[in-house]
Chains A and B, each alone.
Chain A
């Protein structure tokens, strides 16, 4: 299976030992992540950059990629063309963002060492990206690993093939040092070549398994007459010389043949070397077909490299003291096996390009006489089976360019991971493990919040190009600064994140994307999608889900009720509490008794301003009406209070109650089912005007609403008792518990409540934060700001409540009835007595 499966439908299981989240319905790996051969969780690290949490970003980047610093500079970034923003205003610059994080943290970070826990050891031949990543994974799994490298350095093509202006040597060292730190079981044997210094047999004797990652180290010849001239060099050898530190003098004009990454590096290296003035790249197809990464091409053009397209070399001839590269022009013919159109020579188009040297970058090959003798080569790479990464020898595995032909660093790393997986299962004696699949995980980071996210253009890093001293190979571009990095991070669509709909989960959205990209004749894919969609969803309302306000909905007015315009038409929401106290908003606030003055007084002033009351044992301040909460036998009614509300304790017992003056409302505070009958009967008998029903279940603790969802059945029972007593209309009900919005308030009105209490909602509005089960207030706001926030939240909730009323066709909030509500769960229907939507009232 291809790693980059654009169908995005057929996702096989990842092997169980990997952390993989693809079975989570709230997560589908984003296209960028799927495009990455090592499955980098790009959306998460991008989001962490926004949050300035570089350490977590670093973790997300390096979790599947031991060469993150290198990739931050020179990865060919298949993630970027896969980015969904590519089609609108350009992809998120995922690679540059990685570089930003690695530049911030990469140099100093030392990962924890993974101890050796296994007796077996593995030999790896070749210290390129495939070999070292395999070494890393095997070391992390507890094996000892010996890496045999024929040169004097670790890194393979990363170090010998990529010029320093793109990848400064210090960057490679960062990754290598980190890898060594992580892998104490890694032993490196430099200057040790297979066939020269030791044989495959010796390796097999010393180790339990051998992995060949020999690379494609030699350039392919162009295969044209005159090629043997010493002024013709191959691209990889040329780069190797330069990366070894040489700065050879170049002729005035250099021609590079080829259009791949080696050609791009070679032409740009030549451009920087002493003596060189002109560099021409000869490529046999056109600019649309050239395989070089767009950014490399772009940079080469900026550095004034000349590109000669649709031109194919046919011969090299001496021309005075120069060379003449004889070429023909080409047209595009039929597509060949890789889907690209074949260049076709045009007759009579022969012409010469004069130059001092030709660098041939037309492909690479692996050469190993030792393996050739053993019959393991086919002919320029190790014959290897992709499904198991095995060679003909059952104890010998192979990966990377040397096994599958020239590719990219990140693909070689994927090979290394695959190979490590199969080697491990071989060593553990498991013959046929589940096929390897790149694991995808998410770190569930909130989306970036910049207001400009949808307007930010691509943030281009500063391009320096050749610089003042080209031969010193200064780095070509600068990294982002904090601002540009965050601006770029904010651009991410966050395809990984569920953005807010139960019906359209991320998974389902992906299915729709897929349907929209499936040919109507592709029956196999259509069937696979259908199968996936026929999977049954879990019950969104499991048995344990408690009854709650969330599961009530309003019935709108349509034809059977007169529609009221919620934007314009008036809706009365005021309430005369207990026939005595006029509240402009039918709200009260409770639960701030224990707060200090800086918190209580803004609440009080805001309540006075909006026309609502405070319920508590002491006044919030001096302005708003006060509903005094009294403990019987302890507190005396205060003449300043608008109401006196007696608490019923854990158990009902008759209590002395009195009002300080006849204008006061007399009320009872009930908080439990126990003794509710007697308490209500008592209140009704005594002519109380108010019942405060506290549904928090924890009336004695601070911030009782933080205990969880309120118990709505207490309200239902209260009303049932009043109805039995035929006193429903004679006593007001005030509710306290879990009111978060005007919608909650309106629903409670529908359930029979007259005045609605706010506690935590007001505290949150004032800037309170929930911590350790209580609200905490930081001294970050003025009293005026807190007061304004309280006014605003109460006004907003009043507006919401009246909007609900009007949607239900009411011009008065208190006209909402049970009949205007429906439940969407059985639990809520049963707790409230409201019928389930679509069913008839009992």
Chain B
């Protein structure tokens, strides 16, 4: 047992020491903790950690196998995301104790705060006193034991798992119900309580999910999409698409869901043109060698930056929305192209990790598949706040795609219509986020870049918060981004297009003189190298391709991603459909697409007169529409359409 005095040692240093002792198998005692945050986070060895006093936020968070004991109280989020191990708190716990645990045992001797065990997947959270409101909120599995009273709305929107209450059940949450104890429940509980020396003479009530909200009651009739041109800008007000929507909704009584990206015209990078005549662009066959394209993203605050061979990444897309083969193909292509891939929601599979040489690990409110081991083997961390396709909504994965394998990685019951929470349990605003970022950095030893993914909305306010919260970069996602499933109306009508998003972001950062303190990766409807160069001109540090990589890999854009029966084997988990996707072939296709984009970026940069993409600027662009001119402040030159001779394509 070694003792670390927190009065003399900074938390960052203490956590390094604890992890080092963990690796040696030496137990640790922390004195003078003074309710500091993040104590012991990221520890993955089975040692004892004794905290002589009170701990702050996220004590024992993001750990596996260690045993913590806290003499007094803990702040919120004790045991956040623990895999295994235990925490014993002699005093009280703040809000969301045991949030997102996946197998640990957490025992609170006093009372515990609200939303205990939120989105937990497995393990036991026990409390000898009373729980505050919404214990078991959105839990997916495991058990919560409350010896005292339950608090309001216990089991609110729980999906799986069990809650046992020894005292009064104040009232039940939505979709929760009281049931009789199963044989053996009582014995198991008492054995557990005996192990932790918690005396209890009363009887237990058991609360489980009532199963009313796990699946949509009536399924939407599957239809192939009406071709876009029949409901584009100049079509009838009551056009066939509108009529179809109304007809379907009159059958299901609910909003419609679909996959893919926004369908209707919006101001876009395509409404900008280059100021110079680029007819000579690409004449030099060796242009890629003549333009500096390599860049680093994420290293501003001392983390190990992502090393990109060009200012391009793969946009986050999950294994779940996409098949394992598709993720593999994209990962391989990203490696061949020397850029970074992203896990999207739902965790990291070994296959994804193996395929991609640089992989960003995305972390969402449902904490699906989020764990310390995958964080440690990631090359970057990303906190998802929202996405351009459906900002404000959590991910949706219809039951057809929630296979046992996928459910295992995500830690959820198989076969549910998964609607991920749209808010992190522990991020209610910018201040919480600051502490969360710190926890992630503490847990991974400040090695990894930490980014935030923002669906474009109040971009100006949001990027200012992001820079103040200390992120290394922002993944800014305009509303033209795509999704595997989302409310059709949200996809088309919530959020701000990519073009105004980047303008607002850059302007806001410049306004507070912080442009140099954060990098911006722009995504959402960026389709190829031409769009990429325009984004770079407008001030993005890099861009990310999502939909275009899927199309390069065979997507036919039928917009049925949510059904789970993708005819090309991309957006499916059905083995019969997936076998239609040839990962090796498509990875080469995707790679060629990325190389084509590289060539385009180089050719345009070169033709604009630069040898480094960082020299690109807003002055290289003009606006073609009044909207684009007003949004960007660029000169409005619609006559360019007429003055540029129709580019005649030469025959063979």
Q: Are A559 and B385 in contact (CB under 8 A)?
A: yes
17 interchain pairs, CB-CB under 8 A? A1-B651, A451-B222, A501-B261, A502-B263, A504-B527, A512-B593, A527-B283, A534-B278, A537-B624, A541-B267, A545-B234, A553-B494, A553-B497, A556-B455, A741-B245, A796-B252, A836-B631
Closest residue on chain B to residue A797 by CB atoms: B249
Question: Given contacts A493-B556, A558-B454, is CB(A760)–CB(B649) below 8 Å?
Answer: no
Q: Are A803 and B233 in contact (CB under 8 A)?
A: no
Q: Which 4 A-B pairs have the closest CB atoms?
A: A838-B500, A807-B392, A556-B391, A540-B265
Distance A10 CA – B650 CA, assembled complex (angstroms): 7
Q: Are A808 and B566 in contact (CB under 8 A)?
A: no
Question: Given contacts A453-B224, A539-B271, A539-B624, is CB(A501)–CB(B263) below 8 Å?
Answer: yes
Q: Are B599 and A568 in contact (CB under 8 A)?
A: no
B355: CB under 8 A from chain A?
A: no
Q: Bits for B540-552, please: 1 = Cβ < 8 Å to A, else 0.
A: 0000000110011
Q: Are A553 and B495 in contact (CB under 8 A)?
A: yes
Q: Are A838 and B504 in contact (CB under 8 A)?
A: yes
Distance A688 CA – B504 CA, assembled complex (angstroms): 43
A622: CB under 8 A from chain B?
A: no
Q: Are B138 and A791 in contact (CB under 8 A)?
A: no
Question: Given contacts A554-B493, A555-B458, A766-B250, is CB(A838)–CB(B557) below 8 Å?
Answer: no
B428 to chain A: closest CB distance in Å? 6
Chain A positions within 8 Å of B595 at CB level = 520
Q: Bits for B504-545, please: 1 = Cβ < 8 Å to A, else 0.
A: 100000000000000000000101101000000000000000
Chain A positions within 8 Å of B644 at CB level = 535-536
Distance A535 CA – B227 CA, assembled complex (angstroms): 23
A607 to chain B: closest CB distance in Å? 15
Distance A14 CA – B209 CA, assembled complex (angstroms): 65
B54: CB under 8 A from chain A?
A: no
Distance A545 CA – B627 CA, assembled complex (angstroms): 13
A804: CB under 8 A from chain B?
A: yes
8 Å CB interface, A471-524 against B: 493-495, 497-505, 508-509, 511-513, 515-520, 523
Contact with A563, one of B274, B422, B528 (Cβ below 8 angstroms): B422
Contact with B458, one of A528, A558, A789 (Cβ below 8 angstroms): A558
Distance A539 CA – B430 CA, assembled complex (angstroms): 39
Question: Given contacts A706-B238, A765-B246, is CB(A26)–CB(B650) below 8 Å?
Answer: no
Q: Are B261 and A503 in contact (CB under 8 A)?
A: yes
Chain A positions within 8 Å of B630 at CB level = 826, 836, 839
Closest residue on chain B to residue A765 by CB atoms: B250
Q: Are B227 and A498 in contact (CB under 8 A)?
A: yes
Q: Are A824 and B627 in contact (CB under 8 A)?
A: yes
Q: Are A515 and B494 in contact (CB under 8 A)?
A: no
Chain A positions within 8 Å of B254 at CB level = 795-796, 799
Chain B positions within 8 Å of A708 at CB level = 237
Chain A positions within 8 Å of B229 at CB level = 26, 444, 498
Closest residue on chain B to residue A836 by CB atoms: B630
Beyond the given A10-B651, A563-B423, please list 14 additional residue pairs across the A-B interface where CB-CB is below 8 A. A84-B554, A89-B580, A444-B227, A501-B263, A519-B592, A530-B530, A536-B641, A559-B466, A566-B393, A708-B237, A743-B489, A792-B250, A793-B249, A793-B253
Closest residue on chain A to residue B392 by CB atoms: A807
Chain A positions within 8 Å of B283 at CB level = 527
Q: Are A516 and B553 in contact (CB under 8 A)?
A: yes
Q: Are A499 and B228 in contact (CB under 8 A)?
A: yes
Q: Are A558 and B577 in contact (CB under 8 A)?
A: no
Distance A13 CA – B616 CA, assembled complex (angstroms): 35
Chain A positions within 8 Å of B68 at CB level = none
Distance A516 CA – B587 CA, assembled complex (angstroms): 10
Q: Are A538 and B641 in contact (CB under 8 A)?
A: yes
Q: Bits for B563-591, please: 1 = Cβ < 8 Å to A, else 0.
A: 00111110000001100111001000110
Q: Are A807 and B393 in contact (CB under 8 A)?
A: yes
B501: CB under 8 A from chain A?
A: yes
Q: Are B631 and A837 in contact (CB under 8 A)?
A: yes
Give the interface size bracket for B toward A. 35 or more
B608: CB under 8 A from chain A?
A: no
Chain B positions within 8 Å of A9 at CB level = 649
Closest residue on chain A to residue B487 by CB atoms: A803
A663: CB under 8 A from chain B?
A: no
Distance A747 CA – B245 CA, assembled complex (angstroms): 18
Closest residue on chain A to residue B417 by CB atoms: A567
Distance A264 CA – B600 CA, assembled complex (angstroms): 48
Q: Would you call the interface of chain A mostly helix, strand, loop, or mixed?
A: loop
Chain B positions within 8 Å of A503 at CB level = 261-262, 266, 268, 270, 480, 525, 527
A550: CB under 8 A from chain B?
A: yes
8 Å CB interface, A50-80 against B: none
Distance A738 CA – B238 CA, assembled complex (angstroms): 9
Contact with B624, one of A518, A536, A792 (Cβ below 8 angstroms): A536
Contact with B649, one of A523, A531, A764 (Cβ below 8 angstroms): A531
B610: CB under 8 A from chain A?
A: no
Q: Are B253 and A791 in contact (CB under 8 A)?
A: yes
A533: CB under 8 A from chain B?
A: yes
Q: Are B647 and A531 in contact (CB under 8 A)?
A: yes
Q: Are B592 and A515 in contact (CB under 8 A)?
A: yes
Closest residue on chain A to residue B464 by CB atoms: A560
8 Å CB interface, A545-565 against B: 545, 550, 552-565
Contact with A568, one of B157, B224, B386, B632 (Cβ below 8 angstroms): B157
A773 to chain B: closest CB distance in Å? 11
A774 to chain B: closest CB distance in Å? 12
Q: Are B647 and A535 in contact (CB under 8 A)?
A: yes
Q: Are B504 and A516 in contact (CB under 8 A)?
A: no
Q: Are A12 and B649 in contact (CB under 8 A)?
A: yes
Q: Are B493 and A553 in contact (CB under 8 A)?
A: yes
Q: Are B281 and A530 in contact (CB under 8 A)?
A: yes
Q: Are B489 and A800 in contact (CB under 8 A)?
A: yes
B584 to chain A: closest CB distance in Å? 12
Closest residue on chain B to residue A456 by CB atoms: B567
Distance A791 CA – B249 CA, assembled complex (angstroms): 10
Closest residue on chain B to residue A534 by CB atoms: B278
Question: Given contacts A534-B530, A550-B264, is CB(A88)–CB(B553) below 8 Å?
Answer: no
8 Å CB interface, A436-481 against B: 444, 446-449, 451, 453-455
Contact with A516, one of B251, B480, B589, B626 (Cβ below 8 angstroms): B589
Q: Are B225 and A500 in contact (CB under 8 A)?
A: yes
B557 to chain A: closest CB distance in Å? 5
Q: Are A447 and B224 in contact (CB under 8 A)?
A: yes
B223: CB under 8 A from chain A?
A: yes
Chain B positions within 8 Å of A797 at CB level = 249
Question: Given contacts A532-B649, A565-B423, A796-B254, is CB(A559)–CB(B462) below 8 Å?
Answer: yes
Chain B positions within 8 Å of A435 at CB level = 651
Chain B positions within 8 Å of A26 at CB level = 227-229
Chain B positions within 8 Å of A803 at CB level = 255, 393, 487, 489-490
B201 to chain A: closest CB distance in Å? 36
Chain B positions within 8 Å of A84 at CB level = 554, 556
8 Å CB interface, B128-177 against A: 138, 156-157, 174
Closest residue on chain A to residue B650 by CB atoms: A10
B210: CB under 8 A from chain A?
A: no
8 Å CB interface, A788-828 against B: 789-793, 795-797, 799-800, 803-804, 806-809, 822, 824-826
Q: Are A517 and B624 in contact (CB under 8 A)?
A: no
A761: CB under 8 A from chain B?
A: yes
Chain A positions within 8 Å of B638 at CB level = 539
Chain A positions within 8 Å of B627 at CB level = 541, 824-826, 836
Q: Are A557 and B457 in contact (CB under 8 A)?
A: yes
Chain B positions within 8 Å of A839 at CB level = 500, 630-631
Contact with B392, one of A87, A455, A517, A556 (Cβ below 8 angstroms): A556
Q: Are B624 and A498 in contact (CB under 8 A)?
A: no
A11: CB under 8 A from chain B?
A: yes
B243: CB under 8 A from chain A?
A: yes
A742: CB under 8 A from chain B?
A: yes
Chain B positions within 8 Å of A512 at CB level = 527-528, 548, 551-552, 593
B191: CB under 8 A from chain A?
A: no
A770: CB under 8 A from chain B?
A: yes
